[in-house]
């Protein structure tokens, strides 16, 4: 085991944590905005997959990675709007609609990918994003190369966390989001449009999920496979609870999960005995479930989460 | 002018009309994808229909595929009745498959083996479902998230088994050793794959209906789901009902895995379930959570899956169309359910 611990503070290990945490941070922030406005989005797993596919396809066909990112973000926003249409405008069950959005988006991703790329033995890949070292900062020992020699999308995630906190806690729109998530009746009396605010929050959340998907296929793996998301969306939902619906804590939760995930990857690589690597893949998920058991008792969800708002009901 | 108004009661024919409306809307919406893929919509749906329900062999194939979705559909329907959000039927199915494969590989008389496989599979599924239910009751952990995360855990555990101790040392394929021949479920029609498990699934549906509609436990499950406050006030131990529901739901999902091992694959491999657990959610919603409705709903999805493969071979439209149809059907059904809460009424034109 000591060999495993020796590797922890290596540059490569830290860099791996940052890379694993990036899509989770985007996804977790996206889910957080949605839930703070009172809308659980279980569509996240499928939305990430569809965005991963859409971004990859756009980048692959156009040759422009940033166009791919844009397409992924727009796709995410569109799917967010779809989820909001069902859950906010029509007031349908957030649980079941979310599963429906995930099944629909995943199915559409599989279908379109097969239609566009056909069946190939080796999945087509793209020349993905390259790390961009930040002058001076990347020269800091250990931390520099791990954190400041990364993809632009990683820097975007690092900036997104304080930005999300600022938007949520320091802007009028953020106040509206928190109001419609805690007490929509009061928000309505104060002249805040509950429906519009929830729509905006779920759409913004979808766009962030799109960034998460784009990172997977355009920076991390540079290819699309049907298992490219493999539960990261579900994990993000758990991380929101773990992070108590706060941007900073959520980002911290994403880093913690990424640490466990990077650790199990190292354990796979170090080839502990003859244990199949799948046994290690279970660990982050078990960790998340156990962590939720510890955190959920004290976790206070937004009061109006899961509750549709209808003005005429008193 | 038209206006929406709240509806106090819904006529019985809605139970049939709403799913049919949802399915019709789904097929219309998805025809767009067929057109994008460059095939004739009527041709494609025609191939799907004839390949899934066109002759007796096709019908048996569809029924074989429907069986696991009847079980997962029942599992979800019963869980959702109690508002226990069991999204973990997929993992429970896999657990049932693994457990029954263990038992089926032990030499013993055939019918004893089948019985023990069913018991082991049901027990494994029930145990897995107990995890999210216990976490919810004891630790207030959201059951949706925990049951979803558990699906990944069980899947990787299965993969570790077939890549590790179970791996075929001769061929190197990641598949479990086969169960004993004597434990293979009997085939009911010569020349088809219609096996005993399909009949068991068809019998399970009315049994579940009886349980929900006519027994004390069923009553408790319904009250707990509809109004937990009233249930508590009426002396029902809500937590215990949730745990019982989880055991029942998990056991049913586990049986789906048993049928796949005993009747179809005779061993466990990574793709033993193409998402039957998630399809169970679609089935249960189309059935409006009524166990009797689960059978036709499962047969519909099975027909879509069987038909989509034939359609793909004939027209080149990707078979993943069936996945899109499932998701669309679920969403369309939810929208159709609005008609149970509201009615559209014509309001007299202003004078």
Contact A285 B157 (CB under 8 A): no
> Quick one: pLDDT at residue A314?
44
pLDDT at B164: 86
Which pLDDT tens digit goes with each residue over A137-164? Answer: 888 877 788 888 899 999 999 999 999 9
The pLDDT, as a whole number, for residue A236 is 96
SS (HEC) of chain B: CEEEEECCCCCCCHHHHHHHHHHHHHHHHHHHHHHHCCCCHHHHHHHHHHHHHCCHHHHHHHHHHHHHHHHHHHHHHHHHHCCCCCCCHHHHHHHHHHHHHHHHCCCCCHHHHHHHHHHHHHHHHHHHHHHHHHHHHHHCCCHHHHHHHHHHHHHHHHHHHHHCCCCCCCCCCCECCCCCHHHCCCECCCCCCCEHHHHHHHHHHHHHHHHHHHCHHHHHHHHHHHCHHHHHHCCCCHHHHHHHHHHHHHHHHHHHHHHHHHHHHCCCECCCCCCHHHHHHHHHHHCCCCHHHHHHHHHHHHHHHHHHHHHHHHHCCCCCHHHHHHHHHHHHHHHHCHHHHEEEEECCCCC
A161-193 tens-digit pLDDT: 999 999 999 999 999 999 999 999 999 999 999
Question: If you measure CA to CA, which chain B residue comes closest to A101?
Answer: B327
Q: What is the mean pLDDT of chain A?
A: 91
**What pLDDT is stored for residue A278 in this prediction?**
87
Which residues of chain A does B73 touch, with a Cβ-Cβ cutoff of 8 Å?
none
Instruction: Considering only residues B190 and A48, tell me which one the structure prediction assigns the higher pLDDT.
Output: A48
Q: How far is CA B304 from CA A97, A106, B315, in A?
A: 21, 17, 15
Residue B349 has pLDDT above 60, yes or no: no
pLDDT tens-digit map of B143-179: 998 999 999 999 999 999 998 888 877 777 889 999 9
CB neighbours of residue B43 within 10 Å: 14
- pLDDT higher than 80, residue A274: no
Contact A218, A22 (CB under 8 A): no
Please report residues of B whose CB lies closer than 8 A to that of A90: 335, 338
pLDDT for B11: 78
For residue range B115-150, list pLDDT tens digits in order: 999 999 999 999 999 999 999 999 989 899 899 999
pLDDT score of B14 more than 60: yes
Residue B290, both tokens? 């009524």
The pLDDT confidence band at residue B292, using thresholds 50, 70 and 90, is very high
Q: Confidence band (pLDDT; 50, 70, 90) for B350?
A: low
Closest approach of B263 to chain A, Cα-based (Å): 27
Contact B318 A111 (CB under 8 A): yes
Percent above pLDDT 90 for chain A: 74
Of A257, A269, A255, whose CA–CA distance to A231 is shortest?
A257
Predicted pLDDT at A121? 84
- State whether A103 and B148 contact (CB < 8 Å): no
pLDDT tens digits along A192-212: 999 999 999 999 999 999 999
**What's the pLDDT at B289?**
95
The fold adopted by the segment(s) A10-120+147-295 is ABC transporter involved in vitamin B12 uptake, BtuC (1.10.3470)
Residue A271's pLDDT is 65
Distance CA B212, CA A171 (A): 50
Domain boundaries, chain A: 10-120+147-295
Q: CA B37 to CA B21: how far, in whole Å?
A: 25
- Chain segment B37-84, per-residue pLDDT in tens: 999 999 999 999 999 999 999 999 999 999 999 999 999 999 999 999
Find tokens 């059978």 and name the residue: B295
Angle at the Cα of A269 from the Cα atoms of A263 and A272, rounded to 5 degrees = 90
pLDDT value at position A295? 82
Q: Which two tokens stand for residue B283?
A: 């089935």
The residue with greater pLDDT, A303 or A141, is A303
The answer, yes or no, to whether residue A73 has pLDDT greater than 90, is: yes
Chain B environment of A279 (Cβ under 8 Å): 156-157, 160, 164
The pLDDT-based confidence of A312 (bands split at 50, 70, 90) is: low
| % of chain B with per-residue pLDDT over 90 | 84
Structure-token match 């101790």, residue found = B165
CB A116 within 8 A of CB A59: no
Search chain B and give the residue with CA nearest A43.
B327
Looking at residues B247-264, what average pLDDT do you find?
98
Tell which residue, A290, A224, A247, has the closest CA to residue A25: A247
Given CB atoms, is B3 within the 8 Å cutoff of chain A? no
* CA distances in angstroms from A237 to A40, A254, B244, listed in the order given: 9, 11, 27
Domains of chain B plus CATH, in order, are: 55-339 (1.10.3470)
Q: Residue B323 above 90 pLDDT?
A: yes
CB A232 within 8 A of CB A49: no
| A108-122, A268-282, B35-49, B261-275: range with lowest mean pLDDT | A268-282
pLDDT of residue A4 exceeding 60, the answer is no
Asked if residue A36 lies in contact with residue A168, where contact means CB atoms within 8 angstroms, the answer is yes
Give the model confidence (pLDDT) of A217-235 as tens digits: 999 999 999 999 989 999 9
Average pLDDT for B273-288: 96
Q: What is the pLDDT of residue A270?
A: 75
Query: For residue A22, is pLDDT > 50?
Result: yes
The predicted complex's ipTM stands at 0.93
Q: What is the largest CA-CA distance in chain B?
A: 86
Cβ <8 Å between B135 and A292: yes
Q: Is the pLDDT of residue B351 over 50?
A: no
- B89 close to B277: Cβ distance less than 8 angstroms: yes
Per-residue pLDDT at A311: 74
Surface of B (145-164) touching A: CB under 8 A? 145-146, 148-153, 156-157, 159-160, 163-164
The pLDDT assigned to B348 comes to 63
In 3D space, the residue among B121, B117, B122, B119 whose CA is nearest the CA of residue B103 turns out to be B117
What is the pLDDT confidence band of residue A71, given thresholds at 50, 70 and 90?
Answer: very high
A235 neighbourhood in chain B, CB within 8 Å: 149
Interatomic CA distance for residues B169 and B159, integer angstroms: 15
Q: If pLDDT is split at 50, 70 and 90, which confidence band does A9 have? A: low
Q: Which residue has the tokens 């296929």?
A: A217
Task: Please report residues of A whose CB lies closer than 8 A to that of B139.
Answer: 292-294, 296-297
Going by pLDDT thresholds of 50, 70 and 90, the confidence category of residue B275 is very high
Token code pair at residue A307:
């509750």
Question: What is the band of A6 on the pLDDT scale with cuts at 50, 70, 90?
Answer: low
């Amino acid at each position: 085991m000591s060999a495993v611990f020796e590797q922890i503070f290596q540059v490569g290990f830290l860099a791996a944590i940052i890379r694993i945490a990036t899509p989770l941070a985007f996804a977790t922030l996206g889910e957080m905005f949605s839930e703070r406005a009172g809308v659980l989005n279980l569509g996240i797993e499928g939305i990430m997959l569809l965005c991963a596919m859409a971004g990859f396809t756009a980048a692959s066909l156009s040759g422009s990675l940033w166009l791919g990112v844009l397409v992924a973000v727009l796709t995410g926003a569109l799917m967010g709007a779809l989820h909001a249409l069902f859950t906010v405008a029509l007031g349908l069950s957030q649980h079941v609609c979310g599963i429906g959005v995930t099944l629909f988006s995943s199915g559409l991703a599989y279908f379109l990918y097969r239609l566009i790329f056909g069946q190939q033995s080796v999945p087509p890949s793209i020349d993905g994003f390259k790390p961009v070292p930040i002058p001076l900062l990347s020269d800091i020992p250990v931390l520099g190369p791990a954190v400041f020699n990364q993809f632009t999308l990683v820097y975007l995630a690092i900036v997104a966390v304080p930005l999300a906190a600022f938007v949520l806690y320091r802007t009028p729109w953020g106040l509206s989001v928190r109001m419609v998530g805690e007490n929509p009746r009061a928000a309505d009396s104060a002249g805040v449009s509950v429906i519009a605010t929830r729509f905006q929050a779920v759409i913004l959340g979808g766009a962030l999920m799109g960034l998460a998907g784009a990172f997977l296929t355009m920076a991390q793996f540079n290819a699309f496979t049907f298992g490219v998301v493999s539960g990261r969306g579900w994990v993000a939902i758990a991380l929101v609870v773990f992070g108590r619906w706060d941007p900073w804590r959520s980002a911290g939760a994403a880093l913690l999960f990424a640490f466990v995930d990077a650790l199990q990857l190292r354990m796979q690589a170090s080839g502990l005995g003859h244990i199949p690597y799948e046994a290690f893949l279970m660990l982050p998920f078990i960790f998340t479930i156990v962590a939720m058991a510890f955190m959920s008792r004290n976790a206070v969800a937004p009061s109006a989460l899961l509750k549709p708002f209808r003005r005429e009901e008193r | 002018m038209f206006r929406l108004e709240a509806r106090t009661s819904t006529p019985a024919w809605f139970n049939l009309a709403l799913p049919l409306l949802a399915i019709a809307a789904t097929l219309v919406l998805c025809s767009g994808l067929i057109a994008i893929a460059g095939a004739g919509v009527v041709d494609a749906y025609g191939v799907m229909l004839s390949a899934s329900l066109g002759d007796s062999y096709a019908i048996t194939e569809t029924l074989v595929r429907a069986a696991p979705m009847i079980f997962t559909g029942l599992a979800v329907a019963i869980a959702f009745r109690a508002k226990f959000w069991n999204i973990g039927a997929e993992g429970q199915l896999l657990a049932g498959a693994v457990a029954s494969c263990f038992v089926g590989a032990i030499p013993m008389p055939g019918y004893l083996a089948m019985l023990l496989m069913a018991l082991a599979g049901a027990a494994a599924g029930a145990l897995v479902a107990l995890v999210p239910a216990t976490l919810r009751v004891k630790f207030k952990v959201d059951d949706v998230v925990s049951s979803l995360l558990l699906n990944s855990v069980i899947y990787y555990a299965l993969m570790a088994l077939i890549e590790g101790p179970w791996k075929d040392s001769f061929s190197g394929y990641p598949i479990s050793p086969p169960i004993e021949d004597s434990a293979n479920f009997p085939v009911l029609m010569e020349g088809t794959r219609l096996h005993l498990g399909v009949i068991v699934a068809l019998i399970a549906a009315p049994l579940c209906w009886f349980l929900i509609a006519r027994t004390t436990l069923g009553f408790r499950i319904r009250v707990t789901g509809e109004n937990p406050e009233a249930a508590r006030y009426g002396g029902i131990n809500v937590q215990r009902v949730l745990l019982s529901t989880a055991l029942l739901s998990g056991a049913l999902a586990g049986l789906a895995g048993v049928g796949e091992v005993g009747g179809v694959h005779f061993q466990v491999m990574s793709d033993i379930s193409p998402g039957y657990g998630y399809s169970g959610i679609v089935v249960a919603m189309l059935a409006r959570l009524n166990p009797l409705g689960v059978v036709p709903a499962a047969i519909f999805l099975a027909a879509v899956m069987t038909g989509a493969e034939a359609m793909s071979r004939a027209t080149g439209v990707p078979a993943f169309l069936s996945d899109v149809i499932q998701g669309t059907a679920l969403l369309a059904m939810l929208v159709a359910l609005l008609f149970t809460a509201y009615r559209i009424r014509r309001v007299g034109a202003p004078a």
